[in-house]
Amino acid sequence: MIRSSGILMPVASLPSPYGIGSFGQAAYDFADFLAAAGQKLWQLLPLGPTSYGDSPYQSFSTFAGNPYFIDLDFLIRDGLLTREEAEGADWGDDPRRIDYGRIYESRFRVLAAAKARGYERDREAVEAFAREQADWLNDYTLFMACKRRFGMRSWQEWPEDIRLREPAAIAYYSELLQEDREFFTYLQFLFFRQWEALRRYVHEKGLRIIGDVPIYVAMDSADVWARPDLFQLDEKNCPRAVAGVPPDYFSEFGQLWGNPLYDWDKMKADGYSWWLRRIAGAGKLYDIIRIDHFRGFDTYWSIPADAQNARPGHWCQGPGIALIETIKQHFPQLDFIAEDLGTPMESLTKLLEDSGWPGMRVLEFAFDPYQTSSYVPHRMIHNCVCYTGTHDNVPVKAWWEDLPDPVRDYTARYIHFTPDEDINWALLRCGMSSPAGFFIAQLQDYLGLGREATINNPGTLSGNWQWRLLPGEVTPALAERIRSLTQLYER
């Protein structure tokens, strides 16, 4: 790891006149801001199409891209849309919050107009793209076309023949829904074309992209529908047990995620080929892959499928070092970060050490006057990533307000906080000066925003993934202040 720093900023949170951030001009402007601020890393949340709850960690496909991120202004410039079509839709009325309901109603209607103009024009390029991505694209486009056909219901509620992927049903619906399949193919073509252009620009600015690979996939996804044999499902393709985490500092009932669990023995038997395809797909998007919930490679929390919360779960053995070594062998060009947060366990610590991957240290969890913490900066090592907080944490200002007095007093002494500075900058300074190879902060912390700018509150089902940056909120003066701090601590 080369000592450096970066900013966590989801694409969805970028400014845009169309309700949600995209791969448009604001993304290029943000890359310029990062470069001006002396940063080397841009960390994103998953880029897949969002489903129930609007979470990027619950996607219809682990391989596909989110059509919401296709920039409409670039489509106008390309002759695929008129400005009236883009500006005439209802994208919501609050520039600070994403209104997913309105975007869902408007976005696909507008994108359908782009497909009507562009599909035949771009047919040769689209067909070449489809051939290159055939190992996942065919299943995904049929999955999405069938979802439309059946009122967007989960595939578990589809007619039995197509739910169970009987060959005759696959042939029938593939032909019947050909137009919708072409539509979803074209959207992926546009997504990847715009993303590849943005990624080239980001690299030209000397930046690397950190992207998330959630350890689990959504039950209602093309991934599970296409390969039910790789998951812990019964004879009717219903889950026997589901994923989550036990009670912890986020929730006394734990977190019941509901994702299907992998059949690790089945995956091991064919050399983890599905995971290798998955990492290959992520490698086309990112330079550094953060494995979300890395601890699931060690042991995972298995919850009965009919449980009401995560408490009845129990620990099961994950794939361990065998999967990690397989990934490293096939992808020596990729770097990884292990999200190893959660209840400390000796086996997890050993797996992280054996992997050689850097783990995470979060400053919002670091300061405890009553017990030793491995997250305090003087206990950090070079091979780790220091964060002020992640997308699952409140911004620093809100965190500070919530601290009990003894913890606040101890923290103030540790970070040399004085009343004449802002707490967010004091903690940013602490992270920048740490021994950690990488330091990452949420943009909200540089902006000094509070609780209202939280990306996600774990364990809650609504009001998340909505925060957005306002136009003009990042300034040359802010970039210069960040650059000064970055240079001071040689990042």
Q: Tell me the HSE value of 231 on the side-chain side, using a 13 A CA sphere.
A: 28
What sign does the CA torsion over 50, 65, 89, 98 have? positive
Question: Tokens in use for 455?
Answer: 């990306």
How many angstroms separate the Cα of 152 from the Cα of each of 220, 258, 298? 10, 19, 35
Strands 255-260 and 241-245: antiparallel
Q: Are 345 and 315 in contact (CB under 8 A)?
A: no
Question: Tokens in use for 156?
Answer: 């578990």
What is d(CA 21, CA 68) in angstroms, rounded to the nearest whole number?
8
Q: DSSP letters of 137-186? A: HHHHHHHHHHHHHTTT--GGGS-HHHHTT-HHHHHHHHHHTHHHHHHHHH
Question: Tokens in use for 327?
Answer: 């990934």
- Which residues 6+ apart lie within 8 Å of 49 measured at CB? 59, 60, 61, 64, 65, 66, 67, 68
Using only the alpha carbons of the chain, give its radius of gyration. Answer: 23
Residue-wise burial string across 473-487, b where 16 or more C-beta atoms lie within 10 A, e elsewhere: ebeeebbeebeebbe
DSSP 313: -
What is d(CA 441, CA 481) in angstroms, rounded to the nearest whole number?
14
Within 10 angstroms of residue 266's Cβ, the number of other Cβ atoms is: 14
What is d(CA 119, CA 80) in angstroms, rounded to the nearest whole number?
10
How many residues would you count in the chain?
491
How many angstroms separate the Cα of 201 from the Cα of each of 197, 207, 408? 6, 9, 42
Which amino acid type is present at position 426? A
Residue position matching structure tokens 């004879």? 235
Q: Are 62 and 51 in contact (CB under 8 A)?
A: no
Residues with catalytic function: 292, 339, 392
End-to-end CA, the chain: 11
- Which residues 6+ apart lie within 8 Å of 235 measured at CB? none
What is d(CA 197, CA 194) in angstroms, rounded to the nearest whole number?
5
